[in-house]
Structure 1
């Protein structure tokens, strides 16, 4: 259906605000660190001398340096991201150069066809308390949808420059930790705990299919985040499509997948934004290098794509890009995803409808219902694990291979605090 001018403007404005958040990361983060300096100078001189003996001021200087390194990396992510076009916002261009080292063009808001991306993009709900992170009970993940192409600069011209708040910055900080989880050597433990059993279940289900014929099998990964699970599935030879909503995730994943040509090319400091629960300075100040694999190393002839769009709107409609979705997916892999639903009944209904006869639904995740107690008057249906499984059976699924898998999510492995999710794993097939 056509989009109203208000919806178009909302999309453009939201994306402009996301870009502003990326660009103002350094200013915002340096100001937060400078608050610690101000607090230091409120102390009695004898207390400051004791902190000096601990090299407290040197630690603050090291954090400043890490923030500037992060800012350079973050600015590279939003430098001419071709998925959104290449229009330049003249108002923003050139501002904060001294703070952020560079200023790049503000892109258009619509994803274009590319080696790893197809589809369209839609604004995230700014009031939604989740980026794509499960690092604490207050964080989560998100998604997006088809929208009409417009020049982004027209949406931001003539209005005040957007000032990101801590909620915006938390989405960006969460994206940095997601990069660790999906694309670093440090993230291997979390990926082994979550992605490995899902990939093993996929291979087991299709073990009778020769490896050379896996490309005929279509696998969907909704809530794909930064794309590593979908990439891994394509690496196994399957035709794989990821689906993601968050502009933060889409910008970062496009950069990694399409603009990174060396292993460990990018270095950043994801843990410098909090001084809590640290056993030592290394836990906060250690650099992380990404990616741990070469994204372009997929086998020749691989079929891998990411679609930006709201899962329900893209896959729940009668057709997508002129193609009916009913029964078109041989496997659907939901990892930390089903609890993002406002209406989990519809999520499961869509999964059942688009799964091919003989196909498999592989699920792993907790039930951190993302819209519970929301302040936007959005509906939210929250079920227990047993209720979710009973609902799936009523929808026509046969559930098997149930077990609990313990895992962290975007965890700082050297922190004194870590949340462990007792995630539910199962495989399910459609009843005939």
Structure 2
């Protein structure tokens, strides 16, 4: 790769990071404006209709949603209050430096390493700039940006709230059980010598729970929305239920009741630093293929480094699934185990950025895995939701594929 290309990539990355920060900071203005649209629409109605809706409490509801939005905005401002985790201090209009590798670890961890299935993974980077010395126009977050931020609030529910426990455990528990079964011959006190990688770790709960079992665990995440948020919850939150958010106030569709829409969610449901003494738990920022691929840093070779790789709602984020599975296979030690859980919602299908996208059926993915050198066992289908509103009138259920695969080739 040429030096000039490296520079342009770094500049693009710093611009994107600044734009993400701007999106967080513009949440209140954007969301209040969207709610105010409802208020304006209310006042276009005939007086008799306004009076009727007022008796139902509609105007009061709009005011309460404003209050909830401001509470969310206060929380989100805390999340981005220290972007120095990426090596910068973003002042007003300052340019951001490109994100660097960083470790997220709890108070008891000791690190020796350095750097979704969010269905809102950051595939589309907006390349406008957030002000700064170059006097570019201040970035205006798009509807797409704000949708990712709202999805991040729901991700907090999934990973770090009591309300999200049922959905979370439907996915994470079978994976943890498979991990424990595969390494059942390893005494609990010696699990630290088993190295587990969790790519696409999102807000880090699965990786955190694996570390809680005593395994050495590293999470990997690419999305800045997820990285900033996971850093906040893992490193800057020191009390159970320290924060209150209102993740369901952004849409009035498919709402059963005002109480359901306005219900507060407290996070976290566990103390993130409450891990076994001496456990090695880290989170690495960056692209999975770049960090763990064969062309990764020669000083930190990934080949054969991991005893287990857990992919939860992750493999369908691939542009080229062949390369993903090749990297997983290459990164595993001989006899290592790959535990997979998730659907095949190919993230790059029909993308508008001219990126390649290879989309396989489930049977094709499994055939590919066997060809690359995996023995698949313990297969089953697990029905699960993903950042679903448990009290809403609409929900999507994934018939997710689960398997345990051992490296044989």
Q: Same fold (TM over 0.5)?
A: yes
Task: Report whether the alignment pairs 1:4 with 2:9.
Answer: no
> Gapped runs of 5+ residues in structure 2?
106-110
> Bigger shift: 367-376 or 317-326?
317-326
Q: 1:383 to 1:155 in 2, by over 3 A?
A: farther
Q: Deviations over 1:73-120 (max 9, x none)?
A: 00000102331234233337xxxxxxxxxxxxx864424544529645
CA shift, 1:59, in A, is: 0.1
SS at match of 2:273: helix
Q: 1:156 to 1:167 in 2, by over 3 A?
A: farther
Task: Report whether the alignment pairs 1:141 with 2:143.
Answer: no
Work out whether residues 142 and 340 of structure 1, in 8 Å CA contact, stay in contact via their aligned partners in 2: no
Q: 1:325 to 1:112 in 2, by over 3 A?
A: closer
Task: Report whether the alignment pairs 1:406 with 2:390.
Answer: no
Q: Deviations over 1:188-236 (max 9, x none)?
A: 0011100000000000000001111110010000000000000000000
Instruction: Provide the aligned C-alpha RMSD in A.
Output: 2.0
Given the alignment, which residue of 43, 50, 54 partners 1:52? 54
Q: Deviations over 1:325-380 (max 9, x none)?
A: 11111000000000000010110111111111111000000000000011111111
> Bigger shift: 64-73 or 275-284?
275-284
Q: Match for residue 18 of structure 1?
A: 20
Q: Deviations over 1:137-196 (max 9, x none)?
A: xx443589xxxxxxx999664122111011000010000000000000011001110000
Given the alignment, which residue of 253, 257, 278 partners 1:301? 278
Q: Match for residue 253 of structure 2?
A: 276
Q: 1:286 to 1:184 in 2, by over 3 A?
A: same
Task: Report whether the alignment pairs 1:33 with 2:10.
Answer: no
Given the alignment, which residue of 235, 241, 266 partners 1:289? 266
Q: Match for residue 100 of structure 1?
A: none
> Bigger shift: 4-13 or 257-266?
4-13
Q: 1:154 to 1:419 in 2, by over 3 A?
A: closer
Q: Match for residue 314 of structure 2?
A: 337
TM-score by length of 2: 0.93
Work out whether residues 102 and 284 of structure 2, in 8 Å CA contact, stay in contact via their aligned partners in 1: no
Could you list the runs of 4 or more consecutive aligned residues of structure 1 that deviate by over 6 angstroms after TM superposition? none
Task: Report whether the alignment pairs 1:110 with 2:99.
Answer: yes
Given the alignment, which residue of 153, 167, 170 partners 1:176? 153
Work out whether residues 412 and 418 of structure 1, in 8 Å CA contact, stay in contact via their aligned partners in 2: yes
Work out whether residues 24 and 80 of structure 2, in 8 Å CA contact, stay in contact via their aligned partners in 1: yes
> Gapped runs of 5+ residues in structure 1?
93-105, 121-130, 134-138, 145-151
Given the alignment, which residue of 330, 334, 341 partners 1:364? 341
The CA distance in 1 between the partners of 2:381 and 2:130, in whole Å, is: 48
Given the alignment, which residue of 83, 90, 93 partners 1:91? 93
Task: Report whether the alignment pairs 1:43 with 2:45.
Answer: yes
Given the alignment, which residue of 74, 77, 93 partners 1:75? 77
The CA distance in 1 between the partners of 2:176 and 2:402, in whole Å, is: 12
Q: Match for residue 252 of structure 1?
A: 229
Number of residue equivalences: 397
Q: 1:70 to 1:321 in 2, by over 3 A?
A: farther
The CA distance in 1 between the partners of 2:201 and 2:67, in whole Å, is: 32
Q: Match for residue 354 of structure 1?
A: 331
Work out whether residues 257 and 295 of structure 1, in 8 Å CA contact, stay in contact via their aligned partners in 2: yes
Work out whether residues 339 and 367 of structure 1, in 8 Å CA contact, stay in contact via their aligned partners in 2: yes
TM-score by length of 1: 0.88
